[in-house]
Every structure is written in structure tokens, then in C-alpha cells.
Amino acid sequence: MAQKRKVYLIIGGAGFIGSHLCDRIIQDGQKVVCVDNLITGSRNNIKHLLKNKNFSFFKQDVSEKFTITGPIDYVLHFASPASPVDYLKYPIETLKVGSFGTYNALELAKEKKARFFLASTSEVYGDPLVHPQVESYWGNVNPIGIRSVYDESKRFAEAITMAYQREHKVETRIARIFNTYGPRMQTLDGRVVPNFIYQLLHKKPLTVYGTGKQTRSFCYVDDLVEGIVRLLHSNIKTPVNLGNPLEFTILELAQIIQKVARTKCRIVKKPLPKDDPKQRKPNISLAKTKLKWKPAVNVKQGLSQAIAWFEQQM
């Protein structure tokens, strides 16, 4: 007798990471209900799935109360503007989806007796005073700075998720996602990888903010999705870092991306944005030990695939 397909509600499923997660769940033979209000997501990210009988899409702002008919086994909350360009453009929407949106998603998970998964972020660590960042670190966040609309909405989302776990016994999982890149990122996303690729392909100078000595680590989206799936089906009820611990300065990344693209560009330096973290690197010991997960795609492989995708969009 064939095993019954599980139903995954993926909120923010037309976004960058959400759409790749939709692909993975469908490939695994399960059903996906994708919900997105499309302010930063795109139908283009999921158009190849629209005729699949195991996939359905609803345009919906989850900051407003919503219902889904039928059984739901998993509720995965990936809805939120995630790049500084977007959350500074949509500050109130960002706060609402992190608060009201998370509350509504948790209420639905409680009603359906579904497992709830929160896509949190390394931004909960703020401009960290601990390096690399471990899950036990409480963070160094400016609660009223321009980036706080994103940072604090995610910190609230974690708090209410843990409250539902403790008070209502909802099965919850939380991923703190570090910088991720790959196909389907918005062309003018504003984050460093798509910025550099866009500038290279349009033969413009590469924009580096500050000295370029600030560091980041970059995880390819396929690796991240594997970590998400493993965490979802694990028994870990506290936050888990998911990201690539290989660390680069922004200037090093500029050099690597020029080599991969086989294009030379000059570098232009601009002032560092307010509250921009000086370093960001995950400690993934918990994910390695408990999930048997670590990134497999090296940065040159990942960048070559991302560049190829951006070229197709031109």
C-alpha cells in the first residue's frame, strides 16, 4: 500500500529560498501548498510547478488572518523581505510578517496539529561580539536602528515560536540562516553576491562598502535546503545555525567572483551602511553533530551556477 503524501504549507514559497524548498519537497514526492503575497517573491520562481498536481499556490498576506482547508502536516514560515534593500523599503510589512504573520502561522499549526518551522536569521546576532556565532550567543542588536525592523521581527518570531512550543506544545523547529546565494535571487537584491554579479555582467565597477575587510560566509542554496529538511525532521527544538563556516572578506569575494566570471572590474569604495555587521560566520557544530549536515558546494562551484542563472535573466 502506497504511503500517503504529507502536506507541506510553505509560507513565502515563491521567494528565493522558499521556491527551492518547494522544489525539494515536490521532488521528494510530497504535496506543497505555497502561500506568498509576492511583494518580494515572484511567480517566475514557481511557474514550473504550477501544473504539478501535488503543488498549489495561493496569493495571500499572512500578516492578515488566513485559513487553509484540509490537512496540513508541516507549516514552514519563510515569509519576509530578507535583503536590506527590501526591508528598508517595506519596514512596516517586515515587522508585521515577523509578528502577526508568525502568530497566524503558529495558530494554524496549532489548529492542524502540524509541525512548525521558522526561518530565522543570523541577523538575530546583530553586530556580533562573539565570533564565530554559536546558538547560545544572545546577540548585539540595535533595537531602534534602521536594520531593527528585520532583526527584531525575527527575534520576536523566535520568542513567540518558543512560547507556542512551551505553552501549547506545538512541535517547532528554528533555523538561523546565514548568508545564502544562488539562482532566483533578485537581480537588484542589494546583497553582496547578486550585487557583484549584476555589476560584473553589466561591466560596472564593483561596489565595496567601508574598507572591504568586513567578513561574510556564503552558503549555496542547495546546501541550505538540505539542512532545512534535515532540521525539520530532527528532534532539535532549539535554534540551529545553518550556513557555510568558510569566511571571506568582501574584498576577497570580489577577487574570487572576478576569477569565476573571467572578468576584471575596478573596485569602488563607498561608506559602510549604518549598523552593518563587521563579521558574520556560523559555528555549525550543532548541525554537524545532530543533523550530520555540512555544506558540500564550494564557493567557486556555487558562484559559477549563480552567474549562469543571472546571465539567463539578462
Segment 86-96 shows an average pLDDT of: 96
Q: Are 55 and 30 in contact (CB under 8 A)?
A: no
Is 150 an annotated catalytic residue?
A: yes
Please indicate, yes or no, if residue 2 is contained in any of the structural domains: no
What is the pLDDT, as a whole number, of residue 186? 87
Which residue type occupies 20? H
Judge whether residue 1 has pLDDT over 60: no
Please indicate, yes or no, if residue 292 is contained in any of the structural domains: yes
Please indicate, yes or no, if residue 269 is contained in any of the structural domains: no
Is the model more confident about 93 or about 195?
93
Question: Which one of the listed residues 90, 150, 181, 220 is annotated catalytic?
Answer: 150
Residue 93 sits in which domain range? 7-184+219-245+281-296
Judge whether residue 269 has pLDDT over 90: no
What is the pLDDT, as a whole number, of residue 274? 72
What do you get for the CA distance between the two ends of the chain, in Å?
A: 48
Is the model more confident about 216 or about 121?
121
What is the pLDDT, as a whole number, of residue 2? 58
Judge whether residue 275 has pLDDT over 70: no
What is d(CA 231, CA 74) in angstroms, rounded to the nearest whole number? 13
Judge whether residue 115 has pLDDT over 90: yes
Write the CATH number for 236: 3.40.50.720
What is the pLDDT, as a whole number, of residue 187? 81
Closest CA to 306 of 223, 214, 207, 206: 223
Segment 140-149 shows an average pLDDT of: 93
Please indicate, yes or no, if residue 274 is contained in any of the structural domains: no
Please indicate, yes or no, if residue 251 is contained in any of the structural domains: no
- Give tens-digit pLDDT for 225-264: 999 999 999 999 999 999 999 998 989 999 999 998 888 8
**Contacting residues for 35 by C-beta, under 8 A, at least 6 apart:** 9, 10, 11, 12, 13, 57, 58, 59, 60, 62, 66, 68, 79
Please indicate, yes or no, if residue 268 is contained in any of the structural domains: no
Least confident window among 210-214, 232-236, 273-277? 273-277
Please indicate, yes or no, if residue 267 is contained in any of the structural domains: no
Least confident window among 4-18, 77-91, 125-139, 258-272? 258-272
Q: pTM (2 decimals)? A: 0.95
Please indicate, yes or no, if residue 214 is contained in any of the structural domains: no
What is d(CA 163, CA 170) in angstroms, rounded to the nearest whole number? 9
Report residue 189's pLDDT band, with 50, 70 and 90 as the boundaries: confident
- Give tens-digit pLDDT for 5-54: 999 999 999 999 999 999 999 999 999 999 999 999 999 999 999 999 99
- Please tell me the total count of domains within the chain: 1
